[in-house]
Structures are given as C-alpha cells and as structure tokens.
C-alpha cells in the first residue's frame, strides 16, 4: 500500500453499509468490508447519491441475472479514499469526485479508438452492471471520474451528474443558435433542469406539460411560454409560436412525444432523453417535409460532465431535491418511481 493510500485509509472504519437489490424491489441492507481497489480503480467514500429513473434497471430486475445482488445508484458524489495501481496520478486521496451512469471507458475498443467514449463497448454501467452508490463506499474505474468543482455541495450536485448532464448534452449537441425557439417536454426530474439549461444557453424556452397548474412553475424555472398538452395539440401550438429548432422530450411516454415532431421548424430536431415503454410514431411526411430529425441522446463522458458542472455554477442552475437518509433507500426509491418527488431524490449516507 502506498503512503498516500495508508494515510487516506487511516481512521476509516473497515465496514460499510450498502443496500443491495435482487429480483424486483427486494432491497436488503448489508455490511461489507473495505478492500484495496483493483488496478485502474479507486475507492470512494460516498457523500451523496441521487436516485434516477434509470435505477429501474437494477431495482425492477431488468438485467440479465436479477438473482445476483447489485447496489443501485449512479449519481454519486464522494471523496477518494484509496487508489489502485495504474491510476493517473492526477487523482489523489482526498479529491472530491463524481461518478455517473457511464462508469468509464476502456480506451481500447473500436468506439474508444475513434474517440466515441460514450459508446465504449466495455464500459461499466454504474448501479446496473457494477455496484453503485446506495452505499457508504463505492469502487469506480478511474476513467469515469468527474472532478467536482469547489462550491458545489454534494447533496445539491449529485443529480446533476446524470439528469443535469443528460439535459446539458441534449441541448448543446443540437444545432440551435442562441435565441432559437427551444421546447422542453415535461416538467419533472429532467425537465425542470432542462428549462433552466435552455434559458441559460440564451434560447426562447417553451415548456410543454400536462395541466394549466404547471404554467407558474414553468415561468419560475425560466420558460418564456407554456403549452398545456391536455388542452391543445402541442405540435400545432409550437408551430403557432414559429416552430421549434429543438424539442427535448423527457416524458416516459412515446405517445406523448409523437405529436411533437409536427412542432419542429425546418431542419428541427426532436431529441429523446426520456426512456418510454411504448414507441414513438411518426409519419414519413413529417420527417421528409422540413427535413426533421428524431434522435436519442445518452448522458455524456466524464470530461463533458465537468463542463456541465462548471456551466451549472456559472449560471445558477439548481436541482430541486428531496433528501433521505441511506437507511430509507427503499422508501426514497418508491418516492421517485411513484412520481411524488419534486423533483429529484438524493440519499445522504451520513444520516
């Protein structure tokens, strides 16, 4: 063990708590022993972990072998305790870091050789294929580490590592100039952040959601206009506003996304970030006439996440969170999956 690792480990209790899950929602509180991180990995003391809708992959048994215990959670902020062999010396014990859904590229596969790190074929999916952050300690591949900037509180910042990054990348990757009409569908865990990002990027922001009661919240978050999709066709309403350069669809409903394509301006893009069980149905004419694009956007790389966090601090973007102690992880998950949270749920392992 190196001197720096010995120093980091000093005073740390060897045992730590985790919540594992098997089958469908079978949570179990367990205790594990700290060990040295394997080559290329670090050990992190978790300070906060957000609960994301993607956690359903682990918690609802949507993985190859649901009988194998897994620790969910991939919106992790913590402090490095120990470092394995071969880790870049830029990372040191005591550094505050984040870990997102994409747990670090391997730098050797065909996608990585072409610089496409998001689509690395050997990338752990934190909290789904490897243990995640419903825990006091997590082990992570060093290539997936995100440096947390000073001034970002762990409990406030955890959801930004996935929900925030998802919205940030969906918007900055689109071909929309500042001042363009940009729509965000849904005002939930993703959408409430997307409205803030779009406003900070200088766009004219339209929020699309169900019910007139959300109009005030949309304006509070920074939207210039609001469309109640229960009272009007959202595609037609967007056309009356001039047509959207970009629409970011966050609702977990393909049926609710389908009408949005007709709201796009020429060469406009519908960017899908909400995973839905039903398909999006689009007529070929709605794609051909106007040369519209429908595409997905998957979170982002570690360095893009660092860009995202700096942008958040520069522009005052804030995730609205409900905080639960780690001991109430099952209750916190239920709060998220039932749609009761306003708007993100975060676990605090210190409680």
133-192 tens-digit pLDDT: 999 999 999 999 999 999 999 999 999 999 999 999 999 999 899 999 999 999 999 999
Percent of all residues in the chain with a pLDDT value above 70, rounded to a whole number: 97
Reported confidence tier of residue 5, pLDDT bands at 50, 70, 90: very low
Does the pLDDT at position 308 exceed 50? yes
The tens digit of pLDDT for each residue in 44-53 reads 999 999 999 9
Span 315-337, mean pLDDT? 98
pLDDT-derived band at 2, boundaries 50, 70, 90: very low
Residue 9 pLDDT greater than 90, yes or no: no
pLDDT in tens, 190-239: 999 999 999 999 999 999 999 999 999 999 999 999 999 999 999 999 99
| Tokens 């402090």 sit on residue | 79
Structural domains of the chain ordered from first start:
3-159+300-348 (3.90.180.10), 164-296 (3.40.50.720)
**The pair of three-digit structure tokens given for residue 347, joined into one six-digit string:** 């676990």
Q: What is the mean pLDDT of residues 275-298?
A: 96
On average, the pLDDT of the chain sits at 96
pLDDT average, residue stretch 20-37: 98
Per-residue burial over 221-253, b = 16 or more CB atoms within 10 Å of its CB, e = otherwise: bbbbbbbbbeeeebbebbeebebbbbbbbbbbb
pLDDT of residue 176: 95
Tell me: the pLDDT tens digits for 56-106? Answer: 999 999 999 999 999 999 999 999 999 999 999 999 999 999 999 999 999
- Pairing relationship of beta strands 264-272 and 293-296 according to DSSP bridges: parallel
* HEC assignment per residue over 277-331: CCCCCCCHHHHHCCCCEEEECCCCCHHHHHHHHHHHHHHCCCCCEEEEEHHHHHH
């Amino acid at each position: 063990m190196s001197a720096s690792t010995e120093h980091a480990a000093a005073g740390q209790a060897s045992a730590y708590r985790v919540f594992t899950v098997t089958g469908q929602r079978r949570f179990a509180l367990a205790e594990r022993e700290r060990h040295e991180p394997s080559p290329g990995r670090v050990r992190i003391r978790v300070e906060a972990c957000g609960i994301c809708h993607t956690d359903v992959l682990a918690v609802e048994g949507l993985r190859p072998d649901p009988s194998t215990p897994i620790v969910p959670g991939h919106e992790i902020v913590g402090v490095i305790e120990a470092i394995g062999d071969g880790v870049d010396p830029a990372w040191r014990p005591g550094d505050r870091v984040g870990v997102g859904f994409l747990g670090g590229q391997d730098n050797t596969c065909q996608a990585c050789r072409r610089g496409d790190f998001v689509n690395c074929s050997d990338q752990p999916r934190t909290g789904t294929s490897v243990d995640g952050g419903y825990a006091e300690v997590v082990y992570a591949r060093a290539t997936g580490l995100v440096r947390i900037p000073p001034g970002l509180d762990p409990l406030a910042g955890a959801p930004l590592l996935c929900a925030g990054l998802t919205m940030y990348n969906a918007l900055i990757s689109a071909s929309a100039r500042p001042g363009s009409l940009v729509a965000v569908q849904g005002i939930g865990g993703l959408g409430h952040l997307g409205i803030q990002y779009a406003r900070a990027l200088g766009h004219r922001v339209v929020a699309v959601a169900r019910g007139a009661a959300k109009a005030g919240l949309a304006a509070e978050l920074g939207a210039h206009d609001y469309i109640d999709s229960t009272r009007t066709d959202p595609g037609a309403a967007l056309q009356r506003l001039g047509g959207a350069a970009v629409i970011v669809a966050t609702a977990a409903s393909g049926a609710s996304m389908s009408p949005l394509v007709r709201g796009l301006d020429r060469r406009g893009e519908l960017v899908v970030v909400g995973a839905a069980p039903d398909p999006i149905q689009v007529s070929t004419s709605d794609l051909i006439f106007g040369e519209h694009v429908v595409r997905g956007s998957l979170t982002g790389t570690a360095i893009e996440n660092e860009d995202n966090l700096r942008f958040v601090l520069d522009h005052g973007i804030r995730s609205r969170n409900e905080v639960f102690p780690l001991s109430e992880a099952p209750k916190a998950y239920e709060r998220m999956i039932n749609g009761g949270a306003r708007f993100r749920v975060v676990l605090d392992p210190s409680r």
